[in-house]
Structure 1
Amino acid sequence: MTSIKRVDTLNCIDYADKNKLFCKLNEVYKSLPSGNCSGCGNCCMESVGINLIEFLNILIYLDKNEEIRNECMPKIIDYYFLEYVKKNACPFKDKDNRCMIYEVRPLNCRLFGHWKKEDYNSNLENITRKNRDYKKLIKSKYGFDIKDEVVNYRINYCELFTPEKNYLDKSKRLSFSDELMVLDSKIYSKGIIDIEFRDRGIVEYFIEYLLSLEVAYNIKIKVSKDEKVRMRAINRLKKIIL
């Protein structure tokens, strides 16, 4: 059984649609400041954190665009199950550095580049520290070494992006996040989805939609120790899921 049940997502989508939550999501997106991006794609290397309402919005988009879905889903599986041994790009980035879900890209993607440099670098250092602590935890708990190239990977501050007006301070960035949290809370409060209310990356949302997260995580740890076993497991999952 998957962690995010298909019937629950359908109920959530139906509720969100009837209550115009997707419209409100798009209003938040439209209220974000604009800027000039070089399109280098260097920032598109993470499973960015997203909200439930954003996951549902992206899910609808992929259901309507089968070709994009078929290209993204195998890369989602690769990203998740190879995450500890290899640094892959965002599974929604194509070979030309373009975002395949650009129309419905998450808030965190839209805000990248709008950070003040000191805020961004401070957050980057915090993430690196957490990654190193996590490496120690996984080593002590499972005897598995996450690759240093993964742990220490950094998406450096973008000097090429220029905002149309001013860079955003932390309180302003969080105000946009708070608006999406309100939309999420409206769905959770109805009791129509049985998952824990917590932070998730976009890849984790889709893995929970495809598989039980507990099963997926156990496979991720166990198969990561042997490359041949790992690739066989990944290929089998792709055939089953896709």
Structure 2
Amino acid sequence: MAGIKKHEIEKAIEFAEKNGIFEKLNEIYNDVPTGKCSGCAKCCMESVGTGLSEFLNIYRYLQERPEKYRHYMKKVLDYYFFEYKEKKKCPFLDEDNRCGIYEVRPLNCRIFGHWEKEDYNINLESIKEKNRDYRDLMKSRYGFEINEDVVEYRIEYCENFVPDSGKYLSKSERLEYSDRMMILDSKIFAGDAIDIDFRDRGIVEYFIDSMFFTDTSYNIKIRMSQDWKKADKIMKKLLVITGIR
């Protein structure tokens, strides 16, 4: 049923453990500069882009904590299938604005406050255009409107975060971290430990693909978006199907 089968995930985790992938991942994390965060969690409002090695690390972390896994997978399902209806915070963010996977959070979360303002705002403008183009595509292809609050939502540049070094990361420095992450991911793909397509995924999409065939989950999401009156009933069935209740 899964786009990323459970036995393949387990095989990939075993491969990563034997080949020191998680140790190298932690080396990358430890190299990220530190800084002072106010804890407002205003940045924790999306399915942040995540590498394969990071997903495996987070998956392993949650599998070792079954209650946490069930708790957060309910929120992952809710985030994914109602994404076009309302803007929700990251499903791994708790009610007290604390990250439930803080120890293993992705690189993009760790470097968020370290962007130079000009670079961040250029990227934000690009995201605005992509969101609007995607809204228009969904309207023309499937005949429904994505909520404008979702389309126009912006995670603004953080003025409160202060790097301990007093220096923000340049674009080339940020890309260097991403390159190191891609090298780790390529080792897992090269080891034939997992059979999935090599594309950008958010953390939510990775977990959704671990529970459904990719086309299946997307088609259900479209169907729900076309008729929100039936969405709650469909969601209840999905919780039963996935065993997350």
**TM surpasses 0.5:** yes
Q: Does 1:194 align with 2:188?
A: no
Aligned residue pairs, count: 242
Matched residue type, 1:235: K
Aligned-pair CA distance for 1:138: 1.0
> What pairs with 1:195-234 in structure 2 (closer than 5 Å)?
195-234=196-235
SS in 1 for 2:114: coil
Alpha-carbon shift at residue 54 of structure 1 (Å): 0.2
Note the residue ranges of structure 2 that are not aligned, 5 or more in a row. Answer: none
Deviates more, 1:108-117 or 1:232-241: 232-241
Which shifted more, 28-37 or 217-226?
Answer: 217-226
Supply the distance in 2 between the matched residues of 1:9 and 1:33 (Cα, whole angstroms): 30
Distance 2:124 2:69 in 1: 31
1:1-242, aligned counterparts within 5 Å? 1-165=1-165, 166-241=167-242, 242=244
Per the TM alignment, residue 228 of structure 1 is displaced from its structure 2 partner at its CA by 2.4
Q: Quick check: 2:41–2:97 contact (8 Å CA) kept in 1?
A: yes
Q: Over residues 76-132 of structure 1, what are the superposed CA-to-partner deviations in whole Å (9 max), with x where a residue is unaligned?
A: 000000001110100000000000000000000000110001111110110010000
Q: Following the alignment from structure 2 to structure 1, what is the Cα–Cα distance between the partners of residues 70 and 3? A: 21
Q: Deviations over 1:201-235 (max 9, x none)?
A: 00000000000110010010111122221111112
Q: Following TM superposition, by how much is the alpha carbon of 1:142 offset from its aligned partner in structure 2, in angstroms?
A: 0.9
Mapped to 2, the partners of 1:81 and 1:194 lie a distance apart of: 25
Give the whole-Å Cα distance in 2 for the aligned partners of 1:61 and 1:191.
22
* Separation in 1, partners of 2:149, 2:95: 22
Partners of 2:134 and 2:120 in 1: how far apart? Answer: 21
Q: TM-score, normalised by structure 2?
A: 0.97
| Large movers: runs of 4+ above 6 Å | none
In the TM superposition, what is the alpha-carbon distance from 1:192 to its structure 2 partner?
2.3
1:181-200 deviation line (CA, Å, top 9, x unaligned): 00000010122211110100
Code of the aligned partner of 1:124? L
Task: Decide which moves more: 225-234 or 89-98.
Answer: 225-234
Separation in 2, partners of 1:191, 1:20: 16
Any idea what the Cα deviations from partners look like across 1:153-194, whole Å, max 9, x if unmatched? Answer: 001111110011110011100100111100000010122211
Q: Distance in 1 between matches of 2:127 and 2:112?
A: 16
TM-score for the superposition, normalised by structure 1? 0.98
Separation in 2, partners of 1:223, 1:199: 24
8 Å Cα contact 2:61/2:104 also seen in 1:
yes
Corresponding letter in the other structure for 2:127: I
Identity of aligned residues (%): 56
1:240 Cα offset (Å):
2.1
Q: Which moved more, 1:212-221 or 1:223-232?
A: 223-232
Counterparts of 2:10 and 2:190, CA distance in 1: 16
Distance 1:98 1:65 in 2: 17
Does the 8 Å CA contact 2:143/2:226 hold for their aligned counterparts?
no
State the 1:5 CA deviation. 0.9
